[in-house]
Amino acid sequence: MGAIQLNKVEKWFGSLQVIKGIDLDIQDGEFVIFVGPSGCGKSTLLRLISGLEETSRGEIEIDGKDVTALPPSGRGLSMVFQSYALYPHMSVRENVGFGLKTAGLPKDEIDKKVNAAADVLKLDEYLDRRPKALSGGQRQRVAIGRAIVREPSAFLFDEPLSNLDAALRVEMRFEVARLHKSLGTTMIYVTHDQVEAMTLADKIVVLQAGRIEQVGSPRELYERPDNLFVAQFIGSPK
């Protein structure tokens, strides 16, 4: 299960308010994209949901349970970091299984989960390699594999493809779409790339200066933008 609800969520850093009262309903299995200009609060909002940042006001619920005060480990979500966060001295197998090992899972269980993730991500042949012997796309898959083995109720991605070159970005975009289809798990994905947003999302959340400008399907935002900001951001002819 991965239904997530935000009620009047605010975030202040000292006297600076960066999230200004966000209400949002995410259904289980939905692919939700946060878009908006640099500095509008996308990463902060994702970090509030994951628990990496404390919420100043408002509540966050996961499957009807208030998790606002829970640490990241109590929320059952997985944050996917960019591929450069891999451990260079560990094999792909060790990288993917690392979180499970620190959680104290027995080796045969870890192997089973790592093999299943490798299967979904087409990494079977690379399990004994070090990250430096992989392509950029394969490294990104390893980073996703780490999240998959924890069987989260939702995946949170913060601009996972922004370090990749254009061709690889397109390839990985298909990979992420395929992954969502095969796992059926809720995904919340931050990007400033409109094409990524329009092609991946069930629901796009357009943010500006810590507020939601509009929420809707790619088609709704394109055909019926609420205001000029959304129209210009999505690239529709309003």
- Rounded Cα distance, 86 and 233, in Å: 33
Q: How far is CA 90 from the centre of its chain?
A: 24
Angle, CA 74 vertex, CA 152 and CA 163 arms, to 5°: 50
44 binds ligand ADP (CB under 6 A): yes
Binding residue (CB under 6 A) for ligand ADP from 40, 114, 161, 164:
40
Q: Which does 18 bind (CB under 5 to 8 A by kind): Mg ion, ligand ADP, none?
A: ligand ADP
Q: Which residues, 6+ apart, have CB-to-CB distance to 2 below 8 Å?
A: 26, 28, 29, 62, 63, 77, 152, 153, 154, 185, 186
For the bound state, the minimum distance from the C-beta of residue 85 to ligand ADP, rounded and expressed in Å, comes to 17
54 binds ligand ADP (CB under 6 A): no
| Number of residues near ligand ADP (by CB under 6 A) | 11
Q: Which is nearer to ligand ADP, 13 or 174 (CB)?
A: 13
Count how many Cα atoms sit within 13 Å of the Cα of residue 16 in the half-sphere of its side chain: 8
Can you list the pairs that 175-178 forms with residues at least 24 positions away whose Cβ atoms lie under 8 Å? 175/121, 175/137, 175/141, 176/144, 176/200
Q: Which of these segments, 10-18, 66-74, 105-113, 161-169, binds ligand ADP (CB under 6 A)?
A: 10-18
163 binds Mg ion (CB under 5 A): no
What does the per-residue mask of binding to Mg ion show for 14-53, with x meaning CB under 5 A?
-----------------------------x----------
- Rounded Cα distance, 80 and 185, in Å: 14
Contact residues toward ligand ADP (CB under 6 A) are 13, 16, 18, 36, 38-44
Contact residues toward Mg ion (CB under 5 A) are 43
